[in-house]
C-alpha cells in the first residue's frame, strides 16, 4: 500500500513528517507525492485558528476526492483539541503517537473502526525528548534537524505549550550521529529546528551554542542554519560564541511580534523593544552581511493607532531583510482570547496590510544592498538553463548555467535586485 503526507505549519512539523514517512517505509509502505494514495496523512498546525481551518478544509477535500482512502489526522491541532470529532478522519493521533502510525493503519484495515489515540503531554518538567532521526529529507535540498520540542513561555496569544508540552532537548550524541548520517547522504546544509530553539539544552545542562558547535564540527557539512529564535536568550556572550563558528549562516529569524513595548508586555513576551534592538545590533556587529528576519503581529487586543505606528517605525529602524506579517487571530484556551478591547477583523487586516507595505520596502532595500557582492550559493532547482539557490544569509539568487550543477557550491556575483530575489552571474 502507498501513502501520501501533507504537512501544515512549521519546520518542526516538516521534520516530523519525514520521520513518520521513514517509519512507514520501514514497515513496508510506499511513499507517493501526489494526494491519490491508499493512506493520506495530514500533519496539522494549530498556531492560529486559520491553521486549524486549513487542515480541516483540506481533510474534507481529501475525503471527497479519495472516498476509499484511509485518512490519518495528526499533529498539534489534535493534541491541543483532542475532544473534537474530526468526522472525516479514520485515525486521529496526537504528537505522542507518531510511532504508532503504521500499527494504527494496520489495525484500522482489519477492524474498519475509527481509532483515536491522543496521549496527554506531561505538564511537569522531566518529560524526555522523543528520540527521532532522519537520514534524508525528500522534499528539500537542505535537511532539517529537530533538536528541541516544547515551550515554557506561555505567550498570552499562543496555544502551542498546550500542544507541545515543556522544553526538552535532543542529546548531543544523538545530534552528532544524525548530522553525520545526513552528511554521508550528501547534504551540505542543515537547519536546526525546534519549537523554542533558543531554549535548547535547558533540561540537559547545555545551550544552543553547544548544538551549533556540534553540528558545525561534522565533516561534509558546509552550512548550519538556525530556524526561528526567541530574542531574550540571545545575550552578548551567546552571540559572540556563535560568531566563532564559520559554518553558521549569518541569517537569524528573531521573533519580534510587536515593536511596541506596551504590546509586548500584554503579549507576555519577555523583552522590551529596546532590548530587542540591542540584540539585533549585536548580531549585525558580530556577523558580516547579517540578515535579520522576523514575524510581526498586528491588531493584538487593545492595540492603539499609536502602538501600531510605533511597531511599524521599529521595524524600519531594525531594517529587516524579510518580515512575515499577520493579523492577530483569537485562540480559545489562551489568555488573550479573554482580553478586553478585541479589535474587529477589518481594522486588524488594514493594519496588517500597512505593515506588509512598509516591510516590503525593507525587503527590497535589503536585496539592493546585496548587489555587487560575490557570494557562495548552493545550486538547487534547475529550470530552462537557470539555477536558483541561497546565499549564506538566505538571499534567493537566480543565475544561468550551461549545465545542471544541483548540489554544488559555487561563487556567484550578484548583479541585479528584483522584488523577491537577486540575479547573479557565475564567477
Which CATH number belongs to the domain containing residue 387 in this structure?
2.40.50
Same domain, 164 and 80: no
Q: Tell me: do 193 and 129 sit in the same domain.
A: yes
* Cell, residue 86: 474530526
Cell numbers 529550470 correspond to what residue?
383
Same domain? 245 vs 158: yes
pLDDT beyond 70 at 137: no
**What's the average model confidence in pLDDT over 105-123?**
89
The 3-state secondary structure of the chain reads CEEEEEECCCHHHHHHHHHHHHHHHHCCCEECCCCCCCEEEEEECCCCHHHHHHHHHHHHHHHHHCCCCEEEEEEHHHHHCCCCCCCCCCEEECCCCHHHHHHHHHHHHHHCCCEEECCCCCCCCCCCCCCCCCCCCCCCCCEEEEEEECCCCCCCCCCHHHHHCCCEECCHHHHHHHHHHHHHCCCCEEEEEECCHHHCCCCCCCCHHHHHHHHHCCCCCCEEEECCECHHHCCHHHHHHHHCCCCECCEEEECCECCCHHHHHHCCCCCCHHHHHHHHHHHHHHCCCCEEEEEEEECCCCCCHHHHHHHHHHHHHHCCCEEEEEECCCCCCCCHHHCCCCCCHHHHHHHHHHHHHHHHHHHHHHHHHHCCCEEEEEEEEEECCEEEEECCCCCEEEEECCCCCCCCEEEEEEEEECCCCEEEEEC
Whether residues 154 and 229 fall in one domain? yes
Q: Mark whether 101 and 34 lie in a shared domain.
A: yes
Q: Domain check: are 81 and 199 in the same one?
A: no
Residues 156 and 72 placed together within one structural domain of the fold: no
What local confidence, expressed as pLDDT, does residue 213 receive? Answer: 98
Query: Whole-model pTM?
Result: 0.92
Query: Does residue 42 form part of some domain?
Result: yes
User: pLDDT-based confidence at 45, cuts 50/70/90?
Assistant: very high
Query: Domain end: 195, 215, 249, which one?
Result: 249
CA distances from 172 to 79, 159, 176, 244 (A): 28, 29, 6, 19
Residue 183, domain member (yes or no): yes
* Mean pLDDT, residues 249-262: 98
pLDDT in tens, 345-381: 999 999 999 999 999 999 999 999 999 999 999 999 9
Instruction: Name every residue whose Cβ is closer than 8 Å to that of residue 74 and which is 6 or more positions away in sequence.
Output: 20, 41, 42, 43, 44, 92, 93, 94, 95, 97, 98, 101
Is residue 358 one of the residues assigned to a domain? no
Quote the CA–CA distance of 45 and 257 in Å, as a whole number: 19
Q: Which of 96, 117, 138 is the C-terminal boundary of a domain?
A: 117
From 128-137, 267-276, 296-305, the region with the lowest mean pLDDT? 128-137
Q: What is the pLDDT of residue 126?
A: 59
The two most distant CA atoms of the chain are separated, in Å, by: 64
Is 139 a residue whose pLDDT tops 60? Answer: no
What's the confidence (pLDDT) of residue 75?
Answer: 95
What pLDDT does 133 receive? 85
Q: What is the CATH number of the domain that holds 18?
A: 3.40.50.12160
Write out pLDDT tens, residues 11-26. 999 999 999 999 999 9
Q: Are residues 44 and 113 in the same domain?
A: yes
Domain final position from 179, 214, 249? 249
Grid cell of 79 as nine digits: 493534541
Residue 124 has pLDDT above 60, yes or no: no
The predicted pLDDT at position 275 comes to: 97
Do 111 and 128 belong to one domain? Answer: no
pLDDT for 28 beyond 80: yes
Tens of pLDDT, residue by residue over 319-342, are 999 999 999 999 988 999 999 999
Q: How confident is the model at residue 125 (pLDDT cuts 50, 70, 90)?
A: low
CB distance 181 to 132 below 8 Å: no
Inside any domain, residue 385: yes
Over 80: is that where the pLDDT of 163 sits?
yes
Model pLDDT for residues 381-405, shown as the tens digit of each residue: 999 999 999 999 999 999 999 999 9
Q: What is the pLDDT of residue 138?
A: 60
Q: Which three cell numbers stand for residue 165?
A: 508540552
Do you know the residue count of the chain?
A: 427
Angle between helices 273-286 and 305-318 (to 10 degrees): 10
Asked if the model's pLDDT at residue 39 lies above 60, the reply is yes
Residue 140 banded pLDDT, cuts 50, 70, 90: low
Phi, psi for 94 (deg, rounded to 5): -100, -170
- In a domain? residue 236: yes
Instruction: State yes or no: pLDDT of 175 exceeds 80.
Output: yes
C-alpha cell, 276: 530587542
* 165 in the same domain as 89: no
| pLDDT tens by residue, 66-112 | 999 999 999 999 999 999 999 999 999 999 888 899 999 999 999 99
pLDDT above 70 coverage of the chain, percent: 98
In a shared domain, residues 233 and 143: yes
Antiparallel, parallel or unpaired: β 409-417 and 386-390: unpaired
At residue 131, the pLDDT reads 83
Q: Which domain holds residue 388?
A: 374-426
Q: Into how many domains does the chain fold?
A: 3
Query: Cα 191 from chain centroid?
Result: 10
Amino acid at each position: 500500500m502507498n501513502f501520501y503526507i501533507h504537512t501544515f505549519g512549521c519546520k518542526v512539523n516538516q521534520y516530523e513528517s519525514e520521520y513518520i514517512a521513514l517509519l512507514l517505509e520501514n514497515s513496508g509502505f510506499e511513499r507517493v507525492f501526489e494526494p491519490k494514495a491508499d493512506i493520506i496523512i495530514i500533519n496539522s498546525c494549530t498556531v492560529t485558528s486559520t491553521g486549524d481551518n486549513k487542515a480541516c478544509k483540506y481533510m474534507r477535500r481529501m475525503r471527497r476526492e479519495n472516498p476509499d482512502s484511509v485518512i490519518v489526522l495528526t499533529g498539534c491541532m489534535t493534541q491541543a483539541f483532542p475532544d473534537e470529532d474530526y468526522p472525516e478522519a479514520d485515525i486521529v493521533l496526537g504528537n505522542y503517537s507518531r510511532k504508532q502510525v503504521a500499527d494504527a493503519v494496520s489495525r484500522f484495515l482489519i477492524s474498519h473502526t475509527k481509532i483515536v489515540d491522543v496521549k496527554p503531554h506531561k505538564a511537569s518538567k522531566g518529560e524526555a525528548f522523543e528520540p527521532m532521526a532522519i537520514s534524508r529529507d525528500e522534499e528539500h535540498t537542505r535537511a532539517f534537524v529537530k533538536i528541541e520540542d516544547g515551550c515554557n513561555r506561555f505567550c498570552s496569544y499562543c496555544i502551542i505549550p498546550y500542544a507541545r508540552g515543556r522544553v526538552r532537548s535532543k542529546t548531543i550524541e544523538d545530534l552528532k550521529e544524525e548530522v553525520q548520517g545526513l552528511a554521508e547522504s550528501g547534504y551540505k546544509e542543515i537547519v536546526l529546528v525546534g519549537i523554542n530553539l533558543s531554549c535548547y539544552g535547558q533540561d540537559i545542562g547545555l545551550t544552543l551554542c553547544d548544538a551549533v558547535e556540534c553540528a558545525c564540527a561534522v565533516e561534509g557539512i558546509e552550512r548550519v542554519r538556525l530556524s526561528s529564535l526567541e530574542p531574550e536568550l540571545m545575550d552578548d556572550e551567546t552571540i559572540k560564541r556563535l560568531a566563532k563558528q564559520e559554518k553558521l549562516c549569518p541569517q537569524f529569524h528573531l521573533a519580534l511580534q510587536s515593536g511596541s513595548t506596551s504590546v509586548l508586555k500584554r503579549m507576555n513576551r519577555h523583552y522590551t523593544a529596546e532590548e530587542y534592538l540591542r540584540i539585533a545590533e549585536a548580531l549585525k556587529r558580530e556577523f558580516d552581511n547579517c540578515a535579520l528576519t522576523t514575524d510581526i503581529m498586528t491588531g493584538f487586543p487593545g492595540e492603539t493607532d499609536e502602538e501600531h505606528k510605533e511597531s511599524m517605525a521599529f521595524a524600519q529602524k531594525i531594517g529587516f531583510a524579510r518580515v512575515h506579517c499577520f493579523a492577530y487571530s483569537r485562540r480559545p484556551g489562551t489568555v488573550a482570547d479573554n482580553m478586553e478591547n478585541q479589535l474587529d477583523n477589518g481594522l486588524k487586516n488594514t493594519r496588517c496590510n500597512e505593515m506588509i507595505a512598509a516591510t516590503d520596502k525593507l525587503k527590497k532595500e535589503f536585496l539592493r544592498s546585496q548587489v555587487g557582492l560575490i557570494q557562495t550559493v548552493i545550486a538547487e532547482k534547475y529550470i530552462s538553463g537557470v539555477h536558483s539557490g541561497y546565499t549564506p544569509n538566505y538571499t534567493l539568487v537566480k543565475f544561468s548555467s550551461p549545465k545542471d550543477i544541483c548540489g554544488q557550491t559555487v561563487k556567484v556575483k550578484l548583479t541585479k535586485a528584483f522584488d523577491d530575489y537577486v540575479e547573479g552571474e557565475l564567477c
